[in-house]
Amino acid sequence: MIKDVRSQLNVLISKDKIQNRINQLALNISNDYNGKPLTLVSILRGSIFFTVDLARKLDLIFDMEFVELSSYGNDFESSGNIKINKDLTNPVENRHLLIIEDIIDTGHSLKFITEHLKKYNPLSIATCVLLDKASKRVADITPNYVGFVIPDKFIIGYGLDYYGHFRNVDYIGYLGE
């Protein structure tokens, strides 16, 4: 049984702040990709809420792909050992790829998927993350679009899970001090 931690969560970023920042990101991305063949590559499962809210605000023509990664290690830290559970469905040659991720921590996951997608010869690859635990970075990667730089806390909500649960919490929360 999963303990219901919702009443113990502290608010780090409110629902309104998330949506306001997504609106700004969407404006920037819409300017940068205007007229270009764009594919959003959403990383399952944590980034689905962010992907949907961002996608709805883009004033662009684009298609969407989904990939799923898994990382051996514990549930709270990604190891460098990452595997692809689900890869792209369609060819992406002649398309610009924008990877949409919920959070970057060590950077291993984003670095891994960026390198992997290069093999499919897209026109370009860029990355958009909602949350950046910048102080924790190990891998050599800097996201192109960042929603919020956050401190090193374990985050739950807005897609981010605690043992697979509570992704539907509609703000960005954390446990503990």
Decide which of ligand IMP, Mg ion, none touches 53; Cβ closer than 5 to 8 Å per partner kind.
none
Question: 148 or 154, CB closer to ligand IMP?
Answer: 154
Q: Using the rule CB under 6 A, which residue among 98, 108, 114, 145 binds ligand IMP?
A: 108
Return residues touching Mg ion (CB under 5 A): 46
Question: Binding of ligand IMP at residue 109 (CB under 6 A)?
Answer: yes
Burial-class residue 44 by CB neighbours within 10 Å (0-12, 13-18, 19+): middle
CB 124 within 8 A of CB 138: no
* Residue showing tokens 């929603």: 147
Q: Which partner, Mg ion, ligand IMP, none, binds residue 13 by CB below 5 to 8 Å per kind? A: none
Judged by CB under 6 A, the residue of 105, 125, 145, 147 near ligand IMP is 105
* Dist. CA 30–CA 93, nearest whole Å: 21
Kindly determine how many residues on this chain lie close enough to bind ligand IMP according to the rule CB under 6 A. 15
Task: Report how far residue 10's alpha carbon sits from residue 42's, in angstroms, rounded to the nearest whole number.
Answer: 27
The DSSP secondary-structure symbol of 176 reads -
Q: How far is the CB of 76 from Mg ion (least distance, A)?
A: 12
User: 97 or 110, CB closer to ligand IMP?
Assistant: 110
Residue with tokens 């989904």: 66
Among 67, 107, 147, 169, binds ligand IMP (CB under 6 A): 107
Q: Is 170 a catalytic residue?
A: no
- Please identify which of the residues 53, 102, 105, 132 carries the catalytic annotation: 105
In the complex with ligand IMP, which residue's Cβ is closer, 29 or 150? Answer: 150
Say how far apart CA 33 and CA 132 lie, in whole Å. 23
* In the chain, beta strands by DSSP E: 10-13, 38-44, 62-71, 82-86, 96-104, 124-132, 145-149, 155-156, 172-174
Active site residues: 105
- Would you tell me which residues interact with ligand IMP (CB under 6 A)? 46, 78, 101-110, 154-155, 160
